């Protein structure tokens, strides 16, 4: 767990460095957790009870409509935070699923424990900065979805995260971009990487 906490420390420090006292408190709220491939960690209609810090594996947050169509909204992988953040922070039921695409390892903490930790102003500031960064990413993604062609969305994804082609199964990348999986290989072949 020491190595995982070192990863967490680096990520937290990049967002908003904590004082030694705040880090000491924040580092103690996490517990190791493992998930199997294809395991659903959060179900739509249920509360998001955990904030995850990914140390191994790949996960996705997705929406499932009444006709069974999926929309992949975001991928998470080491080292990053994961879970259905809006439901976690609003203390509400989730509209989305959080699924481990591969066997995964995490540090995780409960929503209530996180809320108590946020009584420390330094921890609260770090969490708010992290959420603001996530919101900024969502806004960029909305622009991509509404204004970009499939090719532009794909190039933007590769610019942000060039390693996703080897990490994430192509059918999920196709869904994230909003194209049929059979057209994804054509898209890859048509773009100069």
**In the predicted model, what is the mean pLDDT of residues 29-45?**
98
Is the pLDDT at 192 greater than 70? The verdict is no
Conformation bin of residue 178: beta by default, left when phi > 0, alpha when psi is -120 to 50:
left
Same domain, 100 and 156: no
> Domain range holding 188?
148-193
* Cα–Cα distance, 105 to 173 (Å, whole number): 22
Q: What is the CA radius of gyration of the chain?
A: 17
More confident residue, 162 or 92: 92
In degrees and rounded to multiples of 5, residue 100 shows phi and psi of -80, 115
- pLDDT range class, residue 193, cuts 50, 70, 90: low
Report angle CA 29, 35, 37 to the nearest 5 degrees.
155
Tokens 């190039």 sit on residue:
155
Taking residues 21-41, what's their average pLDDT? Answer: 97
pLDDT tens by residue, 113-140: 999 999 999 999 999 999 999 999 999 9
If asked whether residues 139 and 171 sit together in one domain, one would say: no
pLDDT of residue 189: 81
**How far apart (Å, rounded) are the C-alpha atoms in residues 188 and 165?**
10
Using a pLDDT cut of 90, give the percent of the chain over it: 77
Q: Which of 5, 47, 10, 13 is nearest to 30 (CA)?
A: 5
Q: What is the CATH number of the domain that holds 27?
A: 2.60.120.10
Q: Mean pLDDT over all residues of the chain?
A: 93
Under the banding of pLDDT at 50, 70 and 90, the label for residue 185 is: confident
Q: Give CA–CA dist 54/61, Å, rounded.
A: 13
> pLDDT tens across 67-101, in order?
999 999 999 999 999 999 999 999 999 999 999 99
Looking at the fold, whether 181 and 136 belong to one and the same domain comes out as no
Q: Residue 51: what pLDDT?
A: 97
Cα–Cα–Cα angle for 89, 10, 170, rounded to 5 degrees: 70
The whole model's pTM is what?
0.90
- pLDDT exceeds 80 at position 191: no
Given this model, what pLDDT does residue 42 score? 97
Domain end position, chosen among 103, 127, 144: 144
Q: Are residues 6 and 67 in the same domain?
A: yes
Residues 56 and 107 in one domain: yes
């Amino acid at each position: 767990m020491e190595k995982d906490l070192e990863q967490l420390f680096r990520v937290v420090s990049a967002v908003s460095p904590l004082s030694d006292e705040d880090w000491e408190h924040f580092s103690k709220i996490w517990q190791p957790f493992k998930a199997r491939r294809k395991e659903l960690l959060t179900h739509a209609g249920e509360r998001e009870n955990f904030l995850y810090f990914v140390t191994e594996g790949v996960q996705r947050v997705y929406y499932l409509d009444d006709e069974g169509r999926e929309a992949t909204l975001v991928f998470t992988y080491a080292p990053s935070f994961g879970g259905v953040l809006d439901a976690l922070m609003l203390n509400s039921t989730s509209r989305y699923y959080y699924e481990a695409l591969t066997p995964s390892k995490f540090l995780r903490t409960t929503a209530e424990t996180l809320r108590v930790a946020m009584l420390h102003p330094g921890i609260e500031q770090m969490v708010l900065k992290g959420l603001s960064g996530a919101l900024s990413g969502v806004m960029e993604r909305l622009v991509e979805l509404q204004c970009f062609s499939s090719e532009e969305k794909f190039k933007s994804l590769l610019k942000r995260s060039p390693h996703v082609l080897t990490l994430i199964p192509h059918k999920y990348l196709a869904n994230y971009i909003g194209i049929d999986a059979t057209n994804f290989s054509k898209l890859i072949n048509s773009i100069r990487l």
